[in-house]
Amino acid sequence: MRSFTIPTHYRSDLIGRLKAFRKAQDPKKKDLSPTVLDLGPVRFVFARHFGFCYGVENAIEISYKALEENLARRIFLLSQMIHNPAVNDDLTSRGMRFIQDTHGQMLMDWSELKADDIVIIPAFGTTLETEAKLKTLGIDPLKYNTTCPFVEKVWNRGAQLGTQDYTVVIHGKAAHEETRATFSHTAKGAPAVIVKDMAEAQELGRIILGEVPLERFAQLFDKRCTPDFDPAKNLQRIGVVNQTTMLATETQAIADHLKQVMAKKYGDDDLKQHFADTRDTLCYATNDNQDATNELLKAEADLALVVGGYNSSNTSHLVELLEHKFPTYFIKDETEILSAATIQHFNYPAHKLETTNDWLPSFDFAQDGRPITIILTSGASCPDTLLDRVMLKVLGFVEGVKDPVEVVEALVQ
């Protein structure tokens, strides 16, 4: 897999070395066991996979290349290039402006753009309608297109399903940029419907089986299906694709459930005529990060810190996995750690910041040798440098810790 040129301030001197060490040891990613950094009174447990993925590094490289190549031109980001405030803030500090917010609402008028302006498409991609709008303004939307190749893979699979007369069921969050883009590209050649979770997939299954009236489809999916969608006709042949940052296990479970529904209705012998196998649209990075996080659940730890943008879907799913076992705090960076007694963190389901006291345990390490054990990981759009800063902030609250530089050096040697 190719390497990317990204600014050095996103590269980590500590955790980055641990990741490189594990990669050299296990290039085929067969060992998902976590990495333990023993600092005496504190131990950090790192997932085997976390942080920038291929698509994010690709997007960052293209964005900074656009800055270098267009010093005299105005550069706009269609929307947040990735879901991480540190990266987006750095780009805007260099003169870039956002055209839309993450929900597609305009932050400026299209008329403000000129034909010689540069517009960067985010890693999530964009809709065909937005591409067409930029072209009418004389702007090439693909010149600096940072759309993740794995998102484009989903679009290609959706297009293929359309040529085979399948309806595409998209597992995703309807308001998310990637799902809006995938829906737009899919709708060009196939009927499509968006389901957000297993509960909706089960309801769709009941509609297919005739267990509930067809009118139920309009009640649930009217705003999330292609125009003139006919459930009586368009649900006879289906295939499932996903927003690449969803829980991979949930996407697979939804596909398996709908496959069983179609087998029940049409029989196993005729199943291939009614259900398309699409498991190859699952993103490798999402799979790797989630598999590595599941491996963390085997560890013994006092708490977990998950670092990433609050609107990062893939990060929220890591939180969802870890909070089944550990007190888990979703933070954007080290500034959320207010003190050894107080932490500010994001409640993703409620979409609000919360403050928790007594979050960091205090043990007498000298007396009983009991270290504080903290799981530390991040989403696919989070720079490793932020994890360095979070780790160092925590270490500043504990007496007698070993020098992390020396410990990392000893470990990789």
Helix or strand holding residue 72 (H, E): none
Nearest to residue 159, comparing CAs of 287, 314, 276?
A: 276
Q: What is the DSSP letter of 106?
A: B
Check: CB of residue 304 under 8 Å from CB of residue 326. Answer: yes
Q: What is the DSSP letter of 116?
A: T
The 3-state DSSP class for residue 266 equals helix
Q: How many CA atoms are closer than 13 Å to the CA of 247, on its beta-carbon side? A: 16
β-pair type (372-378, 303-307): parallel
Q: How many CA atoms are closer than 13 Å to the CA of 60, on its beta-carbon side? A: 27
To the query of whether residue 178 is one of the catalytic residues in this protein, the response is yes
Check: CB of residue 45 under 8 Å from CB of residue 34. Answer: yes
Q: Which of 178, 200, 250, 320 is catalytic?
A: 178
DSSP string of 347-412, one letter each residue: ETTTTEEEEEES-S----HHHH---EEEEEEE-TT--HHHHHHHHHHHHTTSTTPPPHHHHHHHHH
Cα–Cα distance for residue pair 291/382, rounded to 1 Å = 18
Nearest to residue 285, comparing CAs of 318, 307, 331?
A: 318
Check: CB of residue 337 under 8 Å from CB of residue 264. Answer: no
Cα–Cα distance for residue pair 50/322, rounded to 1 Å = 14
The 3-state DSSP class for residue 120 equals strand
- At 191, the amino acid letter reads P
Question: In the chain, how many H helices and how many E strands?
Answer: 15, 14
Cβ within 8 Å of residue 407, ≥6 positions away: 37, 38, 39
Q: What is the DSSP letter of 33?
A: P
The catalytic residue positions are 178
